[in-house]
Amino acid sequence: MKVFHLNKFLIFFFLIALASGLKSQKKNLDSIGLALQKMPDDTVKAKNLSTLISDFYNYGEFGKLNYYRSLLKQTAIELCKSNNAAIVRNGRLTFSRYFATGGRVAMKEYNYKFATTLYDSAMVWAQKSGDKVTIAFIYGNMGIVFKKQYLYPKALEKYFLSLKMLLEAGNKSGVIGNMANIGSIYKAMGEFSKAKEYYLKSDAYCLKFGDKDDIATSCIRLGNIFEIEKNYEKAYSYHSKAIKLLEETGNLISLSEALGNMAYMYDGKGDLDNALLYYFRAVELDKKLGKQNALCIQYENIAGVYLAKKQNKKAEEFYLMAMQIAKKIGDLDGIRSLSLNLSKMYEGNGDFTKALENYKAHIVSRDSIFNEENTKKMVRSEMNFDFEKKEAQTKLEQEKKEAVSAAESKKQKIIIWSVCGILILVIAFAVFAYRSYLQKQKANIEITKQKLIIEVKQQEILDSIHYAKRIQTALLPSEKYIGRNLNELMNKH
């Protein structure tokens, strides 16, 4: 067993406190990382290294991710060398985290094929560890990879697998994220009623169990829903709340999204100057964070504002900047949308050749994303999830009925055995009483028999006496005879 020195013991608790507080305020990540390297407990070190890597990612500090991932890998190797089964399990989980964090880095670099390979490796190690929650989260990450490639049916399949496992595990934060992700898929497909359904489910969980970042993200989603419904007052309220919360937490990635959504809300209202103000604020953050996909969206929206302001040259400039990024990162949905907007703009300018060229590009990209088979697969994924959920509910209800039935059966058995016990006692008592009765009857018969024998003997004795007396009487003369003869004798004398 490893021995903790006092200073290391204090560092241990200090690090846990810092790691848990990273979401609420931005700390000095480097100092935490240096202290983590000195930690003697590899199990705790692995967990906090994973948190640290995640926070470097969230705050846009990408330069040191690979260094700390290498520390995470080395820690996993050390844990797997142990003879203790529980420690080896933690080592396998740490390997899973190592590959999963690599998947996030690969996604950031738009290397989706490599990200898929890394998440497959993370899944292998997670399954070896047997940790269902980790497996569920990896399914969720796989869904994100497919979503970014606009493979919506595959994304839905992974999200529903993740959601099912997290509901069973009671993991509230995971349920929040997966329901929101499912909503975002439906929103991307134009299924706004389904998107709203899952956003509201996610929001219900979020308000009960979420932290500031979760609540802010929920506000963003709700703001978007109210934008779709053209309820700009509520949309502004939710977006403002989201921006305030994210500025407090320092979550720059989500903050850039919130700023972009506020800009889009102003754009929808027709307040073009405020729209540009918020779009450019979002652009500055996206450049800092290296968010190419987000930049593509912001540039397209800025181009739309300039087009509305009749500044077509400026609009073309930003559309083409956005298209360049979309082609670079393989953003099919971005190409689809940009091609259509460019086609409309060129048609308005009278440049029909470019208008037709971009419209053809729009059709090709649109058909690649929205086809009948994808729609069928999407519906199938949700039907499977709903069926499995209903089946699980039915199973649960059946188990409850069986439990009640078992309890009732047990109660009935207790009653039956109690009655049987009482009956056995009654029968035993009856047998005992009957035996006693028989023995008494037997004794009475014996007594009666003995009495009869005695009576017979007595009668025989009496008969003998009477018989002897009769004989005696017959042999002896009677008193009268004796008296008469005696008188005769006396007279003679």
The pLDDT tens digits for 140-156 are 999 999 998 889 999 99
Going by C-alpha positions, the residue among 42, 49, 130, 123 that lies closest to residue 82 is 42
pLDDT band, very low/low/confident/very high, at 1 (cuts 50, 70, 90): very low
Residue 97 binned pLDDT confidence (cut-offs 50, 70, 90): confident
pLDDT of residue 14 exceeding 50, the answer is no
Kindly report the length of the chain: 493
pLDDT at 42 over 70: no
- For 363-412, write each residue's pLDDT tens digit: 888 887 766 455 555 555 555 555 455 555 555 566 666 666 666 766 77
CATH H superfamily, domain 291-370: Tetratricopeptide repeat domain (1.25.40.10)
Q: How far apart are CA 415 and CA 392, in angstroms?
A: 34
Q: What is the pLDDT of residues 57-78, one digit of tens each?
A: 665 566 666 777 777 788 788 8
Q: What is the pLDDT of residue 379?
A: 54
Q: How large is the average pLDDT for residues 292-316?
A: 93
Burial of 421 (0-12, 13-18, 19+ CB in 10 A): exposed
Mean pLDDT of 411-424: 76
pTM of the predicted protein model: 0.53
Q: Tokens 């190592």: give the residue.
A: 98
Show the tokens assigned to 430.
């009856």
Q: Classify residue 404 as exposed, middle or buried by CB count within 10 Å of its CB (0-12, 13-18, 19+).
A: exposed
Tokens of 472: 């005696």
Domain residue extents for the chain: 17-130, 291-370
What pLDDT, on a 0 to 100 scale, did the predictor assign at position 316? 93
Share of the chain above pLDDT 70, in %: 70
Instruction: Please state the rounded mean pLDDT for residues 420-449.
Output: 74
User: Looking at residues 274-280, what average pLDDT do you find?
Assistant: 95
Which range has highest mean pLDDT (42-56, 62-76, 231-245, 454-468)? 231-245
* Residues 6 or more apart in contact with residue 324 via CB below 8 angstroms: none
The pLDDT of residue 411 is 72
